[in-house]
Amino acid sequence: MFKIATWNVNSIRIRLNLLAKLVYDEIPDVICLQEVKAKEADFPFTEIKKLGFENIALYSMPGYNGVAILSKIPFLKEQKYTRVEKNDARHISVELNNGIELHNVYVPAGGDIPDANNNPSFVHKLNFIDEMKDFFEKTPNKKRIICGDFNVAPLDNDVWNHKAMLKIISHTPIEIEKVNNWFNCGKFIDIIRSIYPEPEKVYSWWSYRNPNWQTNNKGRRLDHIWCSPDIAQKINEVKILKSFRLQERPSDHVPIIAELEI
């Protein structure tokens, strides 16, 4: 068995106790973290190794962004990627010794205005997704898993109200089109939706701005786990740990766990 977790932790130092809870409750083999918000000198390597993760790949920067892969399985190699000519710590990969190439990706949020003519942050996001598609299209037929915070909810029931969200960044038609192009280029399998198919509502993020988030449940599925077709028949279980949103000092994202027979 192989159990992987993905989580936008929104500051690893603030959420270290919750990371420990995730490890003790779910016993994952690998955890992919996004938005760690800690430069290498501040990253809690010692504490994480005490949780059983001797292998840590980190691509970080001071105060913002940052992705990390924590693994009980040794790496054969790791790689950091510059995307859209920005060294902003959003994409890292490792090759595990079980033969899986694992990518951890943090797509830019894109700001608040879905207008490519007036919002450079939105352009950055769209170009980033295009570049991801081009990258994976050039290296097909690999045994791989891609996970992370993609900041796009591509399906109608990945958001609380499809029609209301079409003009809101994360669910605009152009973002959905570009993420689908990326998804289709590798014939990837959406691991989460393989267990929770449409039309079931599935969310992984609830805004801090919404004090009644649990009651009105206006969420979005921004966090994803994809795999290559050769892994698709090996998916056993997926858990979306909504209870983590109820913890003290939570991230606005919750962890997602996938268990595979690998």
Check: CB of residue 245 under 8 Å from CB of residue 226. Answer: no
CA distances from 247 to 55, 58, 215, 253 (A): 27, 26, 16, 12
Strand locations in 150-260, DSSP E? 189-190, 223-227, 235-240, 256-260
Report the pLDDT value the prediction gives residue 49, as an integer from 0 to 100: 98
Per-residue pLDDT reduced to its tens digit, 26-43: 999 999 999 999 999 999
pTM listed for this prediction: 0.97
Question: Which CATH number fits the domain 2-260, given the four candidates 3.30.420.40, 2.60.40.1930, 3.60.10.10, 1.25.40.80?
Answer: 3.60.10.10
Question: Phi, psi (5° rounding) for residue 219?
Answer: -105, 180
Compute the chain's Rg from CA coordinates. Answer: 17
Question: Phi, psi (5° rounding) for residue 18?
Answer: -70, -35
Q: Which two tokens stand for residue 74?
A: 């040794």
Report the pLDDT value the prediction gives residue 22, as an integer from 0 to 100: 98
Run of H or E including 80: strand 75-80
Q: Which regions in the chain score pLDDT beneath 70?
A: none
Report the pLDDT value the prediction gives residue 78, as an integer from 0 to 100: 96
Q: Break the chain into its structural domains and give their ranges.
A: 2-260
b (16+ CB within 10 A) / e for 194-210: ebeeeeeebbbbbeeee
Closest CA to 7 of 249, 204, 158: 204
Rounded to whole angstroms, how far apart are CA atoms 122 and 99? Answer: 36
Per-residue pLDDT reduced to its tens digit, 192-249: 999 999 999 999 999 999 999 999 999 999 999 999 999 988 899 999 999 999 999 9
Question: For 218, which DSSP code?
Answer: -
Rounded to whole angstroms, how far apart are CA atoms 252 and 109? Answer: 14
Check: CB of residue 240 under 8 Å from CB of residue 254. Answer: yes
